[in-house]
């Protein structure tokens, strides 16, 4: 069976997003001075996580249909 | 973070039994591979640099250049490419014309790939120098070695697959940068205020960096130094159509599609995200130059006293992104450099080995002989790229040198294709001489004109006499392309009338418009038809042009 490209994309961004969220929660707030005081690791991590999971869900759905 | 990116890319690369012929995967994925083939380092760094140097006028590369050209490829060119079953652009030329036309195109294409990969190499070395503090020379050597290993390990077996992944990496890695930058300067209105300082410092009207058409009445009124005619004909017509219609690297992606309709839809689908790329690549350049002018010395100054525009995006990354997200941004950039370079070097070795060496130098050898030749060509291609990388250090905007190369190669080639595909009378001799004339005209024009403020040499004007001084490098490129296109078109047309046809109508079936049966679209809902998609794309591009007028 051909591998659906959404699996690796989903996997990559889910893992990256999760790591960024964790790092955003534990990192020293001082490093966010350069990003205008916004904890971009946490917030963008959430965005990536949602995107990654959405890809995985779509890939899973099309597999169960097939 | 860098390590994770690489490790995952490794895993993905090792499983090579996937492909995206559009059956198990939505069609938009094939389209993404199409633009990813072009969304390399050159696009990201080069368009960012142009955004800084020329402002919002850089968007013409998208909304005047790429959009109509991609629509044209999808609607009119794809039927011939796909229908002829040619595997490469030089091969199409062989089928349509003859071996010598193919050979000539293969040679110019090989030179072009070397330049492209050299430019990627330069950009990556510059990034390593900036971020990690390595020496530029050391970085160049290291980059060359890494690319060599990458290709020998078969890193391109899943090129299309990687490209789609890379597309998402670049979009998701750069978007936070743009959002933070815009927030920092106070949105579009804040950016406009900052860029009016840039414009007045350079002696232009305050809106010169934020209006794409308004100041194009005269070349002296805008930073790109071009008026509307030169832009529309040079960039919009000769260069963009030339690039999107004849660039093998890009067109090949669509040729891999599952059916004729899918092949035609690929460039059209690709045009949709492409339309919004300026937001991601030009806007950061504009942000960087705005900050450079108002917050003092944001960009390093090069030897020529001008800011080094190429560093606009890398500097912005380092400025806004904290540890963590910075890793994602850098991974995205590096991935695009690597695969951009590897793609070009591989294309170089394919064209050299099959279209030049096997055809003209040593036909009829064993497969292993050609394989060895391919390896040797890879090493040679990388060495030549190093030379090109040093040539690129002489330009403060890599997009200038890149478009220069395109103006030499793709400008004339597009004239050959237009005549070849739509006029069955076009002969092989005419195509060959026309291409030569086009490239020669480009060289002559480049040798006799010079951009403002440059010394004769690599920037043009090397033939001694300077007949005309253009306000910018880009203006010179546009006119070079237009001259090359016109001379190729006229030469091919005239010589065709005086030479005998060598191919019969039967041989040209599927290669020339009038001899190709009309495509039957079959029963398809109207919204899925290529034509509907094409019209939609053109309408939205027109709206975008009006918004940023």
Q: What pLDDT sits at residue B522?
A: 63
DSSP, collapsed to helix, strand or coil, labels residue B251 as helix
- B317 Cα distance to chain centroid: 23
Which residues in chain B (285-324) have CB-CB distances under 8 A to chain A? 319-324
Q: What is the pLDDT of residues B237-275, one digit of tens each?
A: 777 888 877 776 677 667 666 677 777 777 888 888 888
Which residues of chain B make contact with A12, given a CB cutoff of 8 A? 5, 8, 165
d(CA B161, CA B165): 7
Which residues of chain A make contact with B161, given a CB cutoff of 8 A? 5
How near does any CA of chain A get to the CA of B19, in Å? 7
Q: Averaging pLDDT over each range in B183-187, B371-375, B384-388, which range is the top one?
A: B384-388
Residues in chain B: 549
Is a pLDDT exceeding 50 seen at residue B431? yes
Please give the C-alpha separations between residue A26 and each of A49, B21, B92, B323, B390, in angstroms, as whole numbers: 17, 43, 58, 12, 43
A27 domain-assigned: yes
Q: What is the pLDDT of residues B326-351, one digit of tens each?
A: 888 888 887 777 767 777 787 787 77
How near does any CA of chain B get to the CA of A41, in Å? 6
Which residues of chain B make contact with A20, given a CB cutoff of 8 A? 324-325, 328
Which residues of chain A make contact with B182, given a CB cutoff of 8 A? none
Beta-carbon separation of A40 and B176 below 8 A: yes
A60 domain-assigned: yes
Q: What is the pLDDT confidence band of residue B157, given thresholds at 50, 70 and 90?
A: very low
Q: What is the pLDDT of residues B436-486, one digit of tens each?
A: 888 888 888 887 887 777 666 667 666 666 777 777 777 888 888 888 888
CA-based nearest residue to B130, from B268, B329, B294: B329
How near does any CA of chain B get to the CA of A44, in Å? 7
Is a pLDDT exceeding 80 seen at residue A17? yes
A43 domain-assigned: yes
How near does any CA of chain B get to the CA of A64, in Å? 12
Q: What is the pLDDT of residues B281-313, one digit of tens each?
A: 888 888 888 787 777 767 777 666 677 888 888
Beta-carbon separation of B322 and A11 below 8 A: no
% of chain B surpassing 90 pLDDT? 0
Beta-carbon separation of B322 and A27 below 8 A: yes
Q: What pLDDT sits at residue B156?
A: 43
Q: What pLDDT sits at residue B4?
A: 47
Of A20, A36, A62, Cβ closest to residue B325: A20
Is any Cβ of chain A less than 8 angstroms from the Cβ of B83?
Answer: no
Q: Residue B14 CB: number of other CB atoms within 10 A? A: 10
How near does any CA of chain A get to the CA of B345, in Å? 25
Is any Cβ of chain A less than 8 angstroms from the Cβ of B513?
Answer: no
Q: Report which of residues B184 and B517 the model is more confident about.
A: B184
Beta-carbon separation of B24 and A40 below 8 A: no
For B293-304, letters b (16+ CB in 10 Å) and e give beeeebbeebee
d(CA B312, CA B284): 7
Residue B55 DSSP label: G
CB B93 within 8 A of CB B431: yes
Which residues of chain B make contact with A24, given a CB cutoff of 8 A? 324
Q: Find the domain containing A48 and state its range.
A: 6-65
Nearest CA in chain A to B17: A2
Helices marked H in B361-472 — which ranges?
A: 367-392, 398-422, 428-448
Is any Cβ of chain A less than 8 angstroms from the Cβ of B33?
Answer: no
Q: What pLDDT sits at residue B354?
A: 77
Beta-carbon separation of B322 and A34 below 8 A: yes
Mutate to test the interface with B, among A1, A4, A5, A25 (most CBs of B within 10 A): A5
Mutate to test the interface with A, among B169, B258, B319, B322 (most CBs of A within 10 A): B322
How near does any CA of chain A get to the CA of B22, in Å? 11
Q: What is the DSSP string of B79-105?
A: HHHHHHT-SSHHHHHHHHS-HHHHHHH
Is a pLDDT exceeding 50 seen at residue B14? no
ipTM: 0.89
Beta-carbon separation of A5 and B161 below 8 A: yes
Which residues of chain B make contact with A62, given a CB cutoff of 8 A? 24
How near does any CA of chain B get to the CA of A39, in Å? 9
Is any Cβ of chain A less than 8 angstroms from the Cβ of B171?
Answer: no
Which residues of chain B make contact with A66, given a CB cutoff of 8 A? 24
**Which range is least confidently modeled, B100-109, B208-217, B357-366?**
B208-217
Question: Domains (ranges, CATH) in chain B?
Answer: 42-130+140-516+528-544 (1.20.1730.10)
Which residues of chain B make contact with A23, given a CB cutoff of 8 A? 324
CB B40 within 8 A of CB B120: yes
How near does any CA of chain B get to the CA of A2, in Å? 5
Is a pLDDT exceeding 70 seen at residue B15? no
How near does any CA of chain B get to the CA of A13, in Å? 9
Please give the C-alpha separations between residue A4 and each of A48, B50, B121, in angstroms, as whole numbers: 19, 37, 32
Q: What pLDDT sits at residue B258?
A: 66
A41 domain-assigned: yes
Q: What pLDDT sits at residue B519?
A: 63
Helices marked H in B133-258 — which ranges?
A: 136-152, 159-185, 187-201, 228-230, 240-246, 248-255
CB B66 within 8 A of CB B271: yes
Q: What is the mean pLDDT of residues A29-53?
A: 84
Is a pLDDT exceeding 50 seen at residue A9? yes
Of A20, A23, A35, Cβ closest to residue B180: A35
Beta-carbon separation of A41 and B24 below 8 A: no
Domain count, chain A: 1
CB B512 within 8 A of CB B246: no
A39 domain-assigned: yes
Q: What is the pLDDT confidence band of residue A50, given thresholds at 50, 70 and 90?
A: very high
Is a pLDDT exceeding 70 seen at residue B11? no
- What is the average pLDDT value for chain B, to the nearest integer? 77
Of B4, B25, B320, Cβ closest to residue A5: B25
Beta-carbon separation of B4 and A40 below 8 A: no
A1 domain-assigned: no
Beta-carbon separation of B19 and A20 below 8 A: no
Q: Taken in order B224, B227, B233, B236, is the CA torsion positive or negative? A: positive
Is a pLDDT exceeding 70 seen at residue B353? yes
Which residues of chain B make contact with A10, given a CB cutoff of 8 A? none
- What is the average pLDDT value for chain A, to the nearest integer? 81
A30 domain-assigned: yes
């Amino acid at each position: 069976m051909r591998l659906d490209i959404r699996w690796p994309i989903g996997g990559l961004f889910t893992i990256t997003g999760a790591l960024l969220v964790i790092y955003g929660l534990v990192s020293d707030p001082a490093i966010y001075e350069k990003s205008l005081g916004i904890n971009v690791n946490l917030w963008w991590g959430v965005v990536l996580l949602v995107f990654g999971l959405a890809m995985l869900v779509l890939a899973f759905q099309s597999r169960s249909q097939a | 973070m860098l390590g994770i990116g690489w490790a995952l890319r490794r895993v993905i690369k090792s499983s090579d039994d996937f492909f995206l012929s559009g059956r198990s995967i939505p069609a938009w994925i094939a389209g993404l591979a199409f633009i990813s083939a072009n969304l390399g380092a050159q696009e990201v760094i080069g368009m960012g640099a142009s955004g800084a140097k020329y402002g919002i006028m850089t968007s013409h590369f998208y909304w005047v250049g790429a959009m109509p050209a991609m629509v044209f490829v999808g609607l009119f060119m794809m039927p011939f490419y796909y229908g002829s079953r040619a595997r490469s652009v030089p091969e199409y030329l062989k089928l349509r014309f003859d071996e010598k036309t193919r050979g000539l195109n293969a040679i110019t294409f090989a030179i072009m790939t070397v330049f492209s990969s050299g430019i990627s190499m330069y950009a990556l070395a510059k990034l390593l120098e900036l971020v990690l503090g390595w020496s530029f020379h050391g970085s160049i050597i290291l980059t060359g070695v890494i690319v060599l290993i990458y290709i020998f390990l078969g890193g391109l077996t899943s090129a299309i697959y990687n490209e789609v992944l890379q597309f998402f990496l670049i979009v998701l890695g750069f978007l936070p940068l743009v959002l933070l930058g815009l927030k920092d300067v106070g949105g579009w209105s804040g950016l406009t205020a900052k860029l009016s300082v840039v414009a007045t410092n350079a002696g232009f009207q305050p809106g010169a960096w934020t209006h794409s058409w308004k100041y194009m009445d005269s070349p002296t009124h805008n930073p790109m130094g071009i008026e509307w005619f030169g832009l529309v004909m040079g960039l919009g017509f000769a260069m963009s159509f030339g690039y999107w219609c004849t660039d093998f690297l890009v067109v090949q992606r669509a040729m891999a599609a599952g059916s004729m309709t899918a092949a035609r839809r690929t460039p059209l689908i690709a045009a949709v995200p492409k339309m919004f790329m300026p937001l991601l690549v030009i806007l950061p350049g504009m942000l960087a130059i705005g900050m450079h002018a108002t917050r003092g010395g944001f960009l390093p100054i090069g030897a020529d006293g001008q800011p080094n525009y190429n560093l606009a995006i890398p500097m912005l990354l380092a400025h806004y992104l904290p540890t963590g997200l910075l890793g994602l941004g850098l991974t995205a950039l590096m991935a695009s450099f690597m695969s951009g370079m590897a793609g070009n070097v591989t294309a170089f070795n394919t064209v050299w080995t099959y279209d030049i060496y096997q055809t003209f130098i040593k036909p009829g050898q064993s497969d292993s002989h050609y394989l060895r030749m391919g390896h040797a060509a890879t090493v040679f291609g990388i060495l030549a790229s190093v030379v090109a990388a040093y040539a690129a250090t002489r330009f403060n905007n890599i997009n200038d040198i890149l478009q220069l190369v395109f103006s030499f190669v793709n400008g004339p080639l597009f004239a050959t294709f237009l005549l070849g595909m739509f006029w069955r009378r076009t002969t092989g001799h005419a195509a060959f001489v026309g291409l030569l004339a086009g490239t020669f005209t480009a060289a002559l024009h480049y040798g006799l004109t010079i951009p403002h403020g440059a010394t004769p040499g690599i920037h043009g004007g090397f033939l001694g006499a300077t007949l005309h001084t253009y306000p910018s490098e880009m203006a010179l490129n546009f006119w070079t392309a237009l001259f090359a296109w016109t001379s190729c078109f006229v030469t091919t047309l005239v010589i065709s009338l005086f030479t005998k046809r060598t191919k019969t109508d039967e041989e040209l079936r599927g290669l020339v418009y009038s001899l190709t049966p009309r495509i039957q679209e079959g029963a398809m809902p109207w919204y899925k038809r290529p034509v509907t998609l094409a019209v939609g794309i053109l309408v939205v591009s027109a709206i975008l042009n009006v918004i940023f007028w």
